[in-house]
Structure 1
Amino acid sequence: MPRSYASAVLDAPADDVWSYLRDFGNLAEWMPGVETGVIEDGGPSDRVGCVRRLIGPGNSVFRERLSGLDDTERTYTYEILECPLPVRGAHGRIRVSPVTETGQCFVEWSGEFSADAGDEEAMEKTLTMGIYAPGIGALRRRFG
């Protein structure tokens, strides 16, 4: 199963970054290219099982279900239910870890998916360089 990955050190405490990121419904606030985002049933955005609906470039629709949330490990996992990309069975994970020596934090965003053989390499690059890395870059700017 192909895997995409991006990471960075942010100049902010892990607890501060996690407090912001654990809100599964706020992706449109910080993710470049996401125009709107809502939790479909209007329920809490930290409830495992909630579904966020995101509208991206060209009115593209992404629907993702929160499949796990762990405040101790500062991690959430999600599965992609609908997206315009040629991927199947996709799921992702965001994790925030403290950098104890400096008081900063380490943020990583990863995902796995299935795709036709001819699409795998392009989708690995698209997820890493077109979604995960720009998202982490936006978080770096947000948290200074």
Structure 2
Amino acid sequence: MRGPYASTVISADAGEVWAFLREFGNLHEWLPGVSTCEIEDGAPLAPGVVRRIDGAGGMFRERLLTLDDEERTLTYAILESPLPMRDYHATCRAAPVTDSGQTFVEWYASFTADDPEKIAKILTRGVFVPGLESLRKRFG
């Protein structure tokens, strides 16, 4: 089974979109349902930093694994989650659409769960799709 995946095209320069997306502690500014996102441990943009996210879905703690400004990607892992899943790793990427000056953004994850299809639907429909829609509107 393929893991959760969503993508969109944003009508803004990839550098501008990436400058916003790479801020690991700003999830509450663009992801619907997130009431707070705070850096708990570590430097805000250094791999290893941990953020705590509170919202309608409960409390999540996530660790930034990689931040690559050249490739415009970040990868993170979930340390604590109310969802029944393990070994969650996700990547966000912002790539330039060279013929239009827009940005292609994708968000995808892998994880282990007893009911992976159910969790993948929750993440895709409840997090990734609304998050990318919100990000697109922010720059639209």
CA contact (8 A) 1:90 1:111 kept: yes
Instruction: Tell me the SS of whatever aligns to 2:47.
Output: coil
Q: 1:86 aligns with which of 84, 87, 91?
A: 84
In 2, Cα distance between equivalents of 1:37 and 1:70: 21
Matched, 1:67 2:99: no
Q: TM-score, normalised by structure 1?
A: 0.94
CA contact (8 A) 1:2 1:114 kept: no
- CA drift of 1:44 comes to 2.8
Instruction: Tell me the SS of whatever aligns to 2:28.
Output: helix
**Structure 1 counterpart of 2:45:** 46
Measured against aligned partners, the alpha-carbon deviations of 1:13-47 in whole angstroms (never above 9, x if no partner) come to: 10000000111010011100000010003x43211
Matches within 5 A, 1:111-126: 111-116=109-114, 119-126=115-122
In structure 1, stretches of 5+ residues that fail to align are none
- CA drift of 1:56 comes to 1.1
In 2, Cα distance between equivalents of 1:125 and 1:57: 17
RMSD value over aligned CA atoms?
1.1
In 2, Cα distance between equivalents of 1:61 and 1:102: 39
Matched, 1:127 2:123: yes
Instruction: Tell me the SS of whatever aligns to 2:34.
Output: coil
- CA drift of 1:121 comes to 1.0
Write 1 or 2 for the structure with the bigger share of strand. 2
Q: Which amino acid aligns with 1:120?
A: P
Instruction: Tell me the SS of whatever aligns to 1:15.
Output: helix
Distance 1:107 1:4, change over 3 A: same
In 2, Cα distance between equivalents of 1:19 and 1:2: 29
Matches within 5 A, 1:5-20: 5-20=5-20
In 2, Cα distance between equivalents of 1:4 and 1:55: 21
In structure 2, stretches of 5+ residues that fail to align are none
Report sequence identity in percent: 56
Instruction: Tell me the SS of whatever aligns to 2:4.
Output: strand
